[in-house]
């Protein structure tokens, strides 16, 4: 029952009294309406805009959000209203649906936004009224096509584990995938062009030889042309066979239009080879050569515009059919009229109705060759009517075809444009995303630096460190921190990761004292710092038991340090402080041990070029006199931080 007429239910029930006298048996008991709710006004607050309506209005459609008890979830006790955090403009049409029973689609609304609103409020889009339904469907289809284009682009991504056949097929279909494919593409294009030009030049008169008058080039230089033709056909045959081999579904490939064109293009040559000597069919053979012109259609693989044109013609088939049909009708009518009108005049060219067809076609398409002209007055009158109507008949279906072509062409352009813009867009999105990842790194170091500088009682630096981070950021960072603790690995940013990788790769070649690290194991358990190291390390999967990682990990981890600097003079002092603290830095982040989570100091990890690499790789705590062991002065790069403070990156270089 359409609940729009729910308001009339009392009436229908009352009218049922009309059945009572007729009934023979007692009636069932009427349901008691216990919840005798007086009709009340409901306030719907949608993002600040207040809508009010009767409760019964909303109750009309009980299977939607507003009509059911689902809206109680949105009830705001203090203000006694239902609050929805949605778009108020879109809500208008939704509320109107309850009021009038008809859902309208506002044209200025984005289709996906509107869809989302409908889904949220539990209304199916199928009940959109007839006035707006077509528009809605059109927009939805457009949107879908757009999304499909996007998805298709994703398919271009390289799939791993493609065998040779699949690679070849992809190369054929999309020449931009590899250089080989591009070369192949251009070579075939070149040979198609050569072949077509050869066919054309073959027929040009080449000048006379001694014994004969002008003969076409084809007959004069038979051998040369034959060789050219053979070469081209060879290439085409090879290409066709390769495609056939690479096609995922050979049967489907053989039925496709392009492959048929390929076959038709090369078949005449082979047929010609087979039956050169048979005179009976040489006439047919000549006809077959006409099919060589089909090679020009092979260009459609190379040109997107051609493909679009072909697709347009296919999609406008009905309009074209109509055009042809109406033209045929008009031609027959006018040819008949012209024939009978010109019958009287002598020496008339209009000998029969089919003969008049030619005149009619030439006139209707406004060609007007003038080889057939009417001579009688009646003929001239009808001839003029014919040419006028020809213009009309042809001009009518053409705009439909044109608009179709334009739509498809623009769609294609859009797809290409989007593909080009996509790279730039993705790059920009990646940059902004990495910004937030860097924030975490930043705050980590800030945190450590905080603790370090607390140690060193640097009041001024402390003040500078209090960068205001929002509550959400703090919580988010805490979450990431917990994850680090859980997995016993840590986050690092890209540069460090790459650096680390480089260093790992280089350091694997240098000998190292494994003994040192093995003693570090006891510390490895609780704090992530010592024992469990970075994920980025390719071979650092396990904690301290692995000598190599433990060696490098402190170094990798500590290979860069962001220290906020107050003033340059204290630069040396703080660094030495930091260096002294290297001992304690071994127990970094081990809050349980009562140690200080001091700054991670960059221990220079020079590349393996330096011979005394060994001496540097020992963990700090084993080699207290470390400062002198730092061979190269760590380069200090001062980069201006976003907070305006100088961040000194003491890195190992």
Partner 1 sequence: MLSAIWETEGLQTVGIVVLVFASIKLLHLLGLISFSEDSVEDELELSAVRHRPEGLEQLEAQTRFSRKELQILYRGFKNECPSGVVNEETFKDIYAQFFPQGDASTYAHFLFNAFDTDHNGSVSFEDFVMGLSILLRGTIQEKLNWAFNLYDINKDGYITKEEMLDIMKAIYDMMGKCTYPVLKEETPRQHVEVFFQKMDKNKDGVVTIDEFIDCCQNDENIMRSMHLFENVL
Residue 564 in 3-state DSSP? strand
Residue 12 contacts partner 1 per CB under 8 A: yes
The whole-angstrom separation of Cα 477 and Cα 304 is 51
Residue 5 contacts partner 1 per CB under 8 A: yes
Angle at which helix 304-315 crosses helix 317-342, to 10 degrees, equals 70
Shortest reach from residue 330's CB to partner 1, in Å: 16
In contact, 334 and 427? CB cutoff 8 Å: no
Residue 388 contacts partner 1 per CB under 8 A: no
Interaction residues for partner 1, span 528-587 (CB under 8 A): none
Residue 392 contacts partner 1 per CB under 8 A: no
- Residue 125 makes CB contacts below 8 A (sequence gap 6+) with 103, 115, 118, 136
Residue 628 contacts partner 1 per CB under 8 A: no
Shortest reach from residue 130's CB to partner 1, in Å: 17
Residue 20 contacts partner 1 per CB under 8 A: yes
Q: What is the DSSP letter of 2?
A: -
Shortest reach from residue 59's CB to partner 1, in Å: 12
Residue 13 contacts partner 1 per CB under 8 A: yes
In contact, 589 and 529? CB cutoff 8 Å: yes
Max Cα-Cα span within the chain: 126
Cβ closer to partner 1: 63 or 152?
A: 63
| Binds partner 1 by CB under 8 A, chosen from 281, 353, 355, 378 | 378
At residue 120's C-alpha, the angle toward residues 117 and 126, to 5°, is: 70
Contact string (CB under 8 A) for partner 1, positions 315-344, x = contact:
--------------------------x--x
Cα→Cα distances 68→34, 100, 296, 367, 541, Å? 18, 18, 66, 71, 55
Only segment of 29-37, 143-151, 278-286, 450-458 that touches partner 1 (CB under 8 A)? 29-37
Residue 367 contacts partner 1 per CB under 8 A: no
In contact, 230 and 245? CB cutoff 8 Å: no
Residue 82 in 3-state DSSP? strand
Residue 638 in 3-state DSSP? strand
| Binds partner 1 by CB under 8 A, chosen from 8, 190, 245, 369 | 8
The whole-angstrom separation of Cα 383 and Cα 338 is 7
In contact, 94 and 123? CB cutoff 8 Å: yes
Only segment of 1-9, 113-121, 177-185, 276-284 that touches partner 1 (CB under 8 A)? 1-9
Only segment of 3-11, 61-69, 182-190, 224-232 that touches partner 1 (CB under 8 A)? 3-11
Residue 18 contacts partner 1 per CB under 8 A: yes
Shortest reach from residue 320's CB to partner 1, in Å: 26
| The pair of three-digit structure tokens given for residue 426, joined into one six-digit string | 């993705």
Residue 33 contacts partner 1 per CB under 8 A: yes
Interaction residues for partner 1, span 74-113 (CB under 8 A): 99
Shortest reach from residue 37's CB to partner 1, in Å: 11
Which of 563, 584, 547, 569 is CA-nearest to residue 649? 563
Shortest reach from residue 355's CB to partner 1, in Å: 20
Interaction residues for partner 1, span 49-78 (CB under 8 A): 54, 56
| The pair of three-digit structure tokens given for residue 30, joined into one six-digit string | 């009427």
Positions in the binding site for partner 1 (CB under 8 A): 1-2, 4-5, 7-27, 29-30, 32-33, 38-39, 54, 56, 99, 341, 344, 376-378, 381-382
């Amino acid at each position: 029952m359409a609940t729009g007429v729910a308001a009339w239910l009392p009436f229908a029930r009352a009218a049922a009294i009309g059945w009572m006298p007729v009934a023979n048996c007692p009636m069932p008991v009427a349901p008691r309406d216990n919840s005798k709710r007086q009709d009340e006004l409901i306030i719907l607050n949608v993002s600040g805009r207040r809508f009010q309506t009767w409760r019964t209005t909303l109750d009309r459609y009980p299977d939607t959000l507003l009509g059911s008890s689902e809206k109680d979830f949105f009830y705001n006790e203090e203000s006694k209203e239902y609050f929805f955090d949605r778009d108020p403009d879109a809500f208008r049409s939704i509320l109107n649906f309850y009021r009038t029973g008809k859902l309208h689609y506002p044209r200025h609304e984005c289709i996906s936004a509107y869809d989302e609103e409908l889904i949220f409020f539990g209304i199916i889009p199928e009940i959109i009224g007839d006035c707006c339904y077509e528009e809605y469907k059109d927009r939805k289809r457009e949107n879908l096509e757009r999304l499909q284009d996007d998805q298709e682009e994703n398919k271009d991504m390289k799939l791993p584990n493609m065998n040779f056949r699949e690679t070849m097929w992809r190369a054929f279909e999309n020449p931009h995938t590899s250089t080989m494919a591009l070369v192949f593409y251009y070579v075939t294009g070149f040979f198609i062009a050569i072949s077509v030009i050869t066919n054309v030049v073959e027929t040009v008169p080449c000048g006379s030889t001694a014994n004969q008058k002008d003969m076409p080039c084809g007959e004069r230089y038979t051998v040369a042309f034959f060789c050219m033709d053979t070469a081209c056909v060879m290439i085409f045959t090879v290409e066709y066979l390769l495609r056939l081999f690479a096609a995922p579904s050979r049967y489907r490939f053989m039925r496709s239009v392009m492959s048929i064109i390929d076959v038709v293009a090369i078949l005449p040559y082979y047929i010609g080879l087979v039956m050169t000597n048979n005179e009976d069919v040489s006439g047919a053979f000549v006809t077959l050569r006409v099919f060589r012109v089909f090679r020009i259609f092979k260009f459609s693989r190379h040109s997107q515009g051609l493909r679009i044109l072909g697709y347009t013609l296919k999609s406008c088939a009905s309009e074209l059919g109509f055009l042809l049909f109406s033209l045929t009708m008009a031609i027959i009518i006018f040819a008949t009229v012209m024939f009978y009108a010109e019958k009287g005049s002598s020496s008339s060219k209009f000998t029969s109705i089919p003969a008049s067809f030619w005149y009619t076609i030439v006139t209707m398409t406004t060609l007007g060759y003038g080889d057939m002209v009417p001579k009688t007055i009646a003929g001239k009158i009808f001839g003029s009517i014919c040419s006028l109507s020809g213009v009309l008949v042809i001009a009518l279906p053409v705009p439909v075809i044109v608009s179709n072509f334009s739509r498809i062409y623009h769609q294609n352009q859009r797809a290409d444009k989007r593909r080009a813009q996509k790279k730039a867009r993705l790059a920009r999105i990646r940059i902004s995303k990495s910004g937030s990842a860097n924030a975490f790194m930043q705050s980590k170091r800030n945190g450590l630096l905080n603790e370090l500088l607390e140690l060193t009682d640097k009041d001024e630096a402390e003040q500078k460190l209090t960068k205001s981070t929002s509550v959400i950021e703090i919580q988010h960072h805490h979450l990431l921190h917990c994850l680090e603790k859980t997995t016993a690995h840590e986050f690092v940013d890209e540069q460090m990761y790459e650096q680390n990788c480089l260093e790992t790769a280089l350091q694997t070649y240098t000998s190292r004292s494994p003994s040192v690290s093995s003693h570090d194991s006891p510390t490895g358990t609780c704090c992530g710092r010592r024992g469990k190291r970075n994920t980025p390390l390719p071979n650092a999967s396990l904690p301290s038991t692995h000598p190599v990682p433990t060696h490098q990990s402190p170094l990798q981890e500590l290979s860069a340090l962001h220290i906020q600097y107050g003033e340059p003079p204290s630069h040396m002092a703080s660094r030495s402080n930091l260096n002294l603290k290297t001992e304690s830095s071994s127990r970094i982040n081990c809050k349980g041990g009562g140690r200080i989570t001091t700054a991670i100091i960059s221990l220079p990890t020079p590349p393996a070029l330096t011979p005394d690499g060994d001496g540097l790789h020992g963990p700090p705590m084993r080699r207290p006199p470390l400062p002198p062991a730092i061979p190269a002065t760590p380069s200090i790069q001062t980069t201006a931080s976003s907070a305006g403070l100088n961040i000194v990156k003491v890195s190992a270089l």
